[in-house]
């Protein structure tokens, strides 16, 4: 009987592997955390899942392939580890094996692109046992770290070897484990069995450093003593020795650093720190070197002095040059000033190296000496400051709180002009600090030269209220260079050229300027406001003519404001060739109302068909909100992944979970329909319990 069950499971495994090879993909349906309720009755089953992820989800589409059925029972899936690579395809590693009494047992395999790349055995207690080949959690599309060794009742024992495969994962052809193309032997070491405790590294080890990748190949070699580093450890980067430092065992404390050290922080090996440790405390002069740039040579970028104090340990004192938290090639920012007992005092200045041999002061301000808080006028950098997003904030601090007017400035990367593009007012509130009030113009978190998105709206007591406008600016480049249209306000590919004067309809010869654009938005401006009819034109390929696919009406309501009214056909935010999605419905006073439909077509040769939609209601201070039953699309909906969500939107919002989702296919078999229906019943029942309904 046991042999028969094993044979049946092996047959099912081959079926699933056949599906992988034919599809080379996995479509995952997420029913929320409660989906696992439908699975707990299974004592033994086949499981396919993501490597290093225990969150169970349901996948019924694994059975479907061009109207063919690959199994009579649903397959369990644990998540999906996705990595987007150059070809926009995703790398997925699955664990495939069997559960018995809710424990993993027997052979478990690691599958990538329908190929076997690793795995091993679990004993009857659900523990790894015997020879195993594992994949590092930090795999990428270019770098696969493989670990070979032995488990004994769930513990690593004996010699473990580390290998590195550096090929594009999507091109790996791995039919058998023994055929993996391992290009480089990268490390090894031994584990010591500590009895009841977990096993520990012991003796000589040659291992990969934190943050190891194809671009930063850091290796460490030294000795362990019962899981703790001891003696001198050396560091190599890209096969070049960059030294390291010594560990000691002192008064029962292990891994105590002493003497001269050359080290990195948080796995960033482009920044190197050199100085001295005394009993794990930094002392004396420490210098910071960078090897950012094309020649990868080290150059001094910062540093300062540490002083040891009995109660505080190592504290910074005197003059320091520190690095920005995100210091890198595009953000070579340093801060210069003085420390007193680890506290910043006096004037601190911010410098930016622009890659043109210019180290420019771009900001700074003052710390009060008596209490080390910010006071007076400050110029600060945006959180994502970098070469193509040189955004700064200028305003005043009182008692460490922002007060009054703060302006947002942006320095154009190409013409080097620094212009004010936003800002607003802060108010100081006791116990709360600074809060935003009144009208603000803010930048998106991803603001940079080629995508300058800003938002305009109102704050009340630190919270956004009312309707916020979204604008997207760009300077359009032609063959002749950069062109500024100072008399035209035009939207191209959902992008705004904002230096508009007067009013003009985009017609005729202007289309020639935008021959590389897939979208044309045509309409009128009056006093920098959209007014009247605006039409949307689209072509899927540059050789095709533009076709009218959307648009609607704007109404002028204030001197600087207009709103949408009447019937509109709008393009989805991610509209493109394989995701031609529109939203169709009515606006009233700038808010969506009534029923809105969602339409979709695969290509220009087909017609739009309605595949979703629902009702909107207009609420004071909130604008338009979805109500009632909705059929909505996933954020990444396109022709190759047509995932649709359906259910009561308000109940879902109240509980923070979705109802259910299905994938559109030409034919959904009865098993999938039954799974979806059962999931609906289970979730709706649970929802009623959660919100106290009968």
The string of pLDDT tens digits covering residues 262-274 is: 888 766 677 889 9
For 395-444, give the DSSP string.
EEEETTEEEEEEEEEEE-TTT--EEEEEEEEEEEETTTEEEEEEEEEEE-
pLDDT per residue over 279-305, tens digit each?
999 999 999 998 876 556 788 999 999
Tell me the average pLDDT across 675-686.
46
For 535-555, give the DSSP string.
EEEE-SSTTSPPEEEEEEEEE
518 within domain boundaries: yes
Q: How many domains does the chain have?
A: 3
Domain-ending residue, one of 371, 400, 421: 371
% of the chain surpassing 90 pLDDT: 32
Predicted model pTM: 0.56
Domain-ending residue, one of 525, 559, 593: 559
- Token pair belonging to 496: 């705004």
312 within domain boundaries: yes
* Cα–Cα distance, 506 to 497 (Å, whole number): 13
Q: Please state, as a whole number, how many other Cβ atoms lie within 10 Å of the Cβ of residue 622.
A: 12
* Cα–Cα distance, 688 to 694 (Å, whole number): 7
pLDDT per residue over 533-575, tens digit each?
998 888 888 777 778 899 999 998 877 788 999 999 999 887 8
Q: Note whether 482 and 547 are same-domain residues.
A: yes
Q: Note whether 340 and 383 are same-domain residues.
A: no
Q: Please state, as a whole number, how many other Cβ atoms lie within 10 Å of the Cβ of residue 567.
A: 11
Q: Note whether 311 and 394 are same-domain residues.
A: no
Q: Note whether 519 and 452 are same-domain residues.
A: no
**pLDDT at site 467:** 86
Q: Please state, as a whole number, how many other Cβ atoms lie within 10 Å of the Cβ of residue 8.
A: 11
509 within domain boundaries: yes
Q: Note whether 463 and 377 are same-domain residues.
A: yes
694 within domain boundaries: no
> Which DSSP state fits 389?
B
pLDDT per residue over 94-150, tens digit each?
788 888 888 889 999 888 767 788 899 999 999 999 999 998 776 665 667 888 999
Q: Note whether 394 and 468 are same-domain residues.
A: yes
Which of 26, 2, 25, 22 is closest to 14 using CA atoms?
Answer: 22
Q: Note whether 354 and 391 are same-domain residues.
A: no
Whether the predicted pLDDT of 90 surpasses 60 = no
Residue of higher predicted confidence among 436 and 589: 436
Q: Please state, as a whole number, how many other Cβ atoms lie within 10 Å of the Cβ of residue 371.
A: 11
673: CB partners within 8 A, 6+ apart: none
Q: Note whether 416 and 455 are same-domain residues.
A: yes
138 within domain boundaries: no
Residue of higher predicted confidence among 660 and 342: 342
- Token pair belonging to 586: 């009515």
Pairing of strands 476-478, 481-483: antiparallel
Q: Note whether 518 and 434 are same-domain residues.
A: no
Domain of 322? 300-371
> Which DSSP state fits 88?
S
Q: Which of 30-39, 390-399, 597-606, 625-634 has the highest mean pLDDT?
A: 390-399
Q: Note whether 393 and 412 are same-domain residues.
A: yes
- Token pair belonging to 629: 């039953």
339 strand-pairing partners: 318, 344
Tell me the average pLDDT across 315-337.
94
**Average pLDDT of the chain to the nearest whole number:** 73
- Token pair belonging to 646: 């359906």
Q: How far does Cα 482 stand from its chain's mean position?
A: 32
**pLDDT at site 402:** 96
* Cα–Cα distance, 149 to 151 (Å, whole number): 7
* Cα–Cα distance, 406 to 397 (Å, whole number): 10
Least reliable range by pLDDT among 185-189, 202-206, 532-536:
185-189
At 299, phi and psi to the nearest 5? -145, 145
């Amino acid at each position: 009987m046991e042999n028969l069950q094993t044979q049946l499971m092996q047959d099912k495994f081959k079926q699933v592997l056949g599906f992988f090879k034919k599809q080379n993909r996995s479509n995952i349906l997420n029913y929320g955390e409660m989906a696992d309720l439908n699975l707990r009755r299974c004592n033994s089953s086949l499981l396919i899942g993501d490597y290093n992820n225990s969150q169970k989800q349901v996948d019924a589409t694994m059975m479907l392939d061009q109207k063919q059925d690959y199994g009579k029972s649903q397959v369990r899936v644990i998540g999906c580890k996705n990595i987007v690579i150059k070809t926009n395809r995703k790398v997925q590693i699955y664990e495939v094996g069997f559960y018995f009494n809710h424990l993993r047992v027997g052979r478990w395999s690691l599958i990538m692109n329908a190929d076997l790349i690793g795995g091993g055995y679990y004993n009857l207690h659900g523990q790894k046992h015997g020879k195993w080949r594992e994949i590092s959690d930090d795999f990428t599309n270019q770098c696969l770290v493989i670990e070979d060794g032995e488990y004994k009742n769930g513990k690593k024992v004996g010699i473990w070897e580390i290998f590195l495969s550096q090929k594009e994962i999507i091109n790996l052809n791995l039919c058998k484990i023994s055929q993996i193309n391992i290009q480089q032997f990268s490390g090894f070491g031994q584990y010591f069995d500590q009895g009841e405790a977990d096993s520990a590294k012991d003796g000589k080890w040659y291992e990969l450093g934190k943050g190891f990748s194809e671009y930063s190949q850091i290796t460490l070699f030294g000795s362990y003593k019962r899981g703790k580093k001891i003696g001198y450890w050396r560091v190599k980067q890209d096969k070049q020795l960059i030294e390291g430092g010594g560990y000691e065992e002192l008064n029962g404390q292990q891994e105590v650093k002493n003497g001269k050290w050359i080290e990195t922080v948080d796995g960033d090996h482009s920044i190197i720190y050199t100085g001295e440790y005394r009993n794990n405390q930094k002392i004396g002069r420490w210098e910071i070197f960078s090897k950012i740039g094309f020649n990868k040579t080290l150059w001094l970028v910062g540093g300062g002095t540490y002083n040891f104090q009995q109660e505080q340990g190592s504290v910074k004192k005197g003059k320091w040059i520190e690095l920005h938290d995100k210091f890198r090639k595009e953000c070579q920012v340093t801060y210069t000033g003085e420390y007193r007992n680890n506290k910043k005092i006096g004037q601190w200045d911010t410098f930016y190296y622009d890659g043109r041999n210019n180290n420019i002061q771009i900001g700074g301000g003052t710390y009060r000496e008596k209490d080390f808080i910010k006071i007076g006028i400050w110029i600060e950098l945006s959180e994502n400051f970098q070469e193509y997003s040189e955004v700064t904030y200028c305003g005043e601090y009182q008692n460490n709180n922002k007060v009054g007017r703060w302006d947002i400035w942006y320095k154009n990367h190409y013409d080097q002009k620094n212009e004010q593009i936003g800002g607003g007012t802060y108010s100081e509130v006791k116990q709360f600090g600074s809060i935003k009030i009144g009208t603000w113009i803010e930048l998106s978190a991803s603001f940079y030269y080629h995508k300058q998105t800003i938002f305009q709206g109102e704050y009340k007591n630190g919270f956004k209220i009312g309707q916020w406008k979204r604008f997207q600016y760009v300077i359009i480049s032609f063959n002749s260079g950069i062109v500024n249209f100072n008399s035209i306000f035009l939207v191209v590919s959902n992008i705004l050229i904002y230096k508009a004067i007067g009013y003009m309809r985009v017609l005729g010869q202007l289309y020639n300027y935008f021959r590389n654009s897939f979208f044309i938005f045509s309409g009128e401006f009056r006093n920098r406001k959209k007014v009247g009819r605006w039409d949307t034109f689209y072509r899927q390929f540059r050789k095709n003519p533009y076709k009218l696919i959307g648009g609607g009406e704007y109404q002028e309501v204030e001197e600087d404001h207009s709103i949408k009214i009447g019937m509109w056909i709008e393009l989805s935010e991610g509209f493109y060739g394989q995701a031609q999605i529109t939203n169709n419905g009515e606006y009233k006073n700038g808010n969506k109302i009534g029923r809105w439909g969602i339409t979709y077509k695969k290509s220009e040769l087909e017609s739009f068909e309605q595949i979703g939609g629902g009702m909107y209601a207009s609420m004071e201070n909130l604008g338009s909100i979805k109500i009632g039953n909705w059929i909505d699309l996933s954020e990444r909906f396109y022709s190759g992944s047509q995932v649709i969500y359906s259910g009561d939107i308000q109940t879902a919002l109240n509980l923070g979970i979705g109802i259910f989702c299905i994938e559109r296919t030409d034919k959904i078999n009865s098993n999938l329909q039954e799974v979806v229906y059962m999931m609906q019943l289970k979730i709706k029942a649970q929802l009623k319990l959660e919100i106290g309904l009968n």
